[in-house]
Structure 1
Amino acid sequence: MFQKRSKPPPASPKLLHRDWRKIPTWEKDDYLQYIQDYQPEEKELEHLRILLHGPSNAGKSSFFNSVETSLRGRMTAQAIAGVGHESFTVKYQTHKIQKGKPGTFYPFVFNDIMGLEKDESKGICVDDIKLAMNGHVKDGYVFNSQSSFTSANQHYNNSPTLNDQTHVLVCVVSASTVSIMSDDLMKKMREVRLAARDLGIPQMAILTKIDEACPEVQSDLENVYRSKFVKNMIEKLSASLGIPLNCIFPVKNYHYEICREDEIEKLILMALKQMIDFGEDFVNNFDKSCRSA
């Protein structure tokens, strides 16, 4: 059921002698087939909605682009990603992924939002994330760091349906910044987590830029689950936000590459499968609770 390494680990004190997490034997094509076959059990649901949030420049847009690249079989850049310390995403937008011929899409979508900042006058307002989770924010809304979204805005959705609401909340954090995130920023992230908890929304975290933060992973991506550094960063993130360890996935986004790589996509698709499974469980439980109310 779990994958065994075909080669011994490199001789490095920064690597463990065995994987610290057991890896399924699935290959990339197995994940692709699972995702391609997925259809929501709830027939009235158009799509699962996955909301990406986290600090600015953590790789939220790049993660979506990496997912789309993995599923479409070519390099893509639907979500405009930037380089720098401030958030490049300023508008609320739903990203669909084409499946097969034009006009057909996978039954899940991603919402990428402005990043969180430690400074109160910068980044997205926490209340805006809460409203997005509840389905009150329509596509096209331009985030304002100085003031929260209100019902007076033309992009306010007064009557959100199950399709508008968030079904999975994914916190995206860079492996190179976990240890230096400020208390103010962590406080905002915990506030978002508690709001999602109160709504019953399942939560995950994605640890990005593992190759930039760990030389052993940069030299060989297969070292990700033997890296002491990656393991420590996941444990630190879990302790800081209260997200269970098995809900945190290390990934490498496409960054400087111009060709697709199986090892990158396997980590991406492994995380995506978990998002789909969590979202499906939430929708089914939500639907049952509504029918029994």
Structure 2
Amino acid sequence: MQLLNHLEFCNKQCPKLRIRQLDFQSTSQHSEEFMWNTAEKILYLTAMGGQSSQPITASSTCKLLYEPWRQIDWGKKQESLQYVNDYKPFDENQKLRILLCGQCGAGKSSFINSVQSVLRGRMYRQALAANTSGDSFTKKNTTYKIQRERPDKFYPFVFNDIMGLSGIKGVLVDDIKQSLQGHVKDNYKFNTDSKLEEGSEHFNKAPTNNDVVQVLVCVAAADTLSVMSDDVLRKFKEIRKETSQLDVPQIAILTKVDAACPEVKKDLKNVYRCKRLKEMMESFSANTEIPMNSIFLIKNYHEEINLNDDIDSLILNVLTHILNTGEDFVNRKL
């Protein structure tokens, strides 16, 4: 209570701080040490007259745990790569459809490009990605096949990229629900004011098993998670609810972990040692109701021109879980 009172006072005195009470509402979500470390930052900025125009981020309180709380097989990239290369659905005619949704600029398209790069063994860019986190760069419903070593061979899974979420504009939850059910045709340009109607030429009236989504992947940026708007969080919860009603499994990935913690930027292997990133995951889990064991931390390829084994390991780790989750869903439906 004392901390929340101080937070309210600081926000009145220094509106530029932009700290939300949502981030401090429960000590079960955040350790007292983290809360008071952040309070010290608030005190300092208050004394300085609130001159910082940047939100409080993980970089101000990035501490490492003695041991990683989640294990990653850092030295076994080739084994993980072989697992994905050998993956075949139980039904050989079935292609897993993975729908990516998330806040604007979080890295949905970059994740697709990163997966392509890892699997092809070189930097690859198929999905156009934005370099800012403003309005959604992706406007249309787009399916991306993942090419194997030959131009006419593809992996038995595809990614659906759609318009991003935002507070006022952005893709509608109703359109995401219709995408999950396979009703939205490729290249449909999303309307931020009204959902796709059944009578539209872009509405797929008779979706096949390959049109229906088997896994929903929610994407959020770790470096701006603490200032994510309540409207976007509400949309994440609505999407989670609609997806659960359809019995479609969900996975979440938090991107830009290197921008969220300087210790992770120094060494990506610190990603699951970073105390603040773990607390971010716990907070995101509490706000969206996505369980912790379905949330993963990654870094997409962004400024690199060569592949990096540590980046690849994180991407292969989450991709393996996505494929296993999708396969379990398909098998339950048989």
Q: TM-score, normalised by structure 2?
A: 0.80
Aligned to 1:17: 66
CA distance in 1, matches of 2:74, 2:107: 27
RMSD: 1.3
Aligned to 2:236: 189
Q: CA deviation at 1:22?
A: 2.9
- The superposition leaves residues 236-285 of structure 1 with CA deviations (integer Å, 9 ceiling, x where unpaired) of 11111111111111000001101110000100000000000000000110
Q: CA deviation at 1:26?
A: 6.5
Query: Contact 1:221–1:264 (CA<8 Å) still a contact in 2?
Result: yes
Larger radius of gyration: 2
- The 5 A counterparts of 1:156-195 are 156-195=203-242
CA distance in 1, matches of 2:255, 2:75: 22
CA distance in 2, matches of 1:124, 1:208: 20
Aligned to 1:50: 98
Aligned to 2:146: 97
2:53 is the alignment partner of 1:38:
no
Q: TM-score, normalised by structure 1?
A: 0.91
2:178 is the alignment partner of 1:131:
yes
Task: Please identify, of 139-148 and 264-273, the stretch whose mean Cα deviation from structure 2 is larger.
Answer: 139-148
Q: CA deviation at 1:43?
A: 3.1
Aligned to 1:236: 283
Instruction: For residue 96 of structure 1, give the secondary structure of its aligned residue in structure 2.
Output: strand
Q: CA deviation at 1:152?
A: 2.1
Q: CA deviation at 1:229?
A: 1.5
**Percent of paired sites with the same residue:** 52
CA distance in 2, matches of 1:13, 1:148: 42
- The superposition leaves residues 84-122 of structure 1 with CA deviations (integer Å, 9 ceiling, x where unpaired) of 211100011100011121111000000011001111xx1
Q: CA deviation at 1:77?
A: 1.0
Query: Contact 1:15–1:227 (CA<8 Å) still a contact in 2?
Result: yes
Q: Which amino acid aligns with 1:111?
A: N
Q: CA deviation at 1:221?
A: 0.4
CA distance in 2, matches of 1:23, 1:78: 28
2:237 is the alignment partner of 1:201:
no
Aligned to 1:71: 119
Q: CA deviation at 1:44?
A: 3.2
CA distance in 2, matches of 1:59, 1:13: 22
Alignment counterpart, residue 28 of structure 1, candidates 53, 77, 83: 77
Query: Contact 1:176–1:212 (CA<8 Å) still a contact in 2?
Result: yes
Instruction: For residue 146 of structure 2, give the secondary structure of its aligned residue in structure 1.
Output: coil
Aligned to 2:272: 225
Q: CA deviation at 1:165?
A: 0.4
Q: Which amino acid aligns with 2:260?
A: A
| Number of residue pairs matched by the alignment | 273
Say which structure is richer in helix. 2
Is there any run of 5+ residues in structure 2 with no aligned partner, and where?
A: 1-60
Instruction: For residue 259 of structure 1, give the secondary structure of its aligned residue in structure 2.
Output: coil
Is there any run of 5+ residues in structure 1 with no aligned partner, and where?
A: 1-11, 288-293
2:107 is the alignment partner of 1:59:
yes
Q: Which amino acid aligns with 1:276?
A: L
CA distance in 2, matches of 1:62, 1:22: 24
CA distance in 1, matches of 2:62, 2:206: 56
Q: Which amino acid aligns with 2:240?
A: R
Query: Contact 1:178–1:236 (CA<8 Å) still a contact in 2?
Result: no
Query: Contact 1:59–1:208 (CA<8 Å) still a contact in 2?
Result: yes
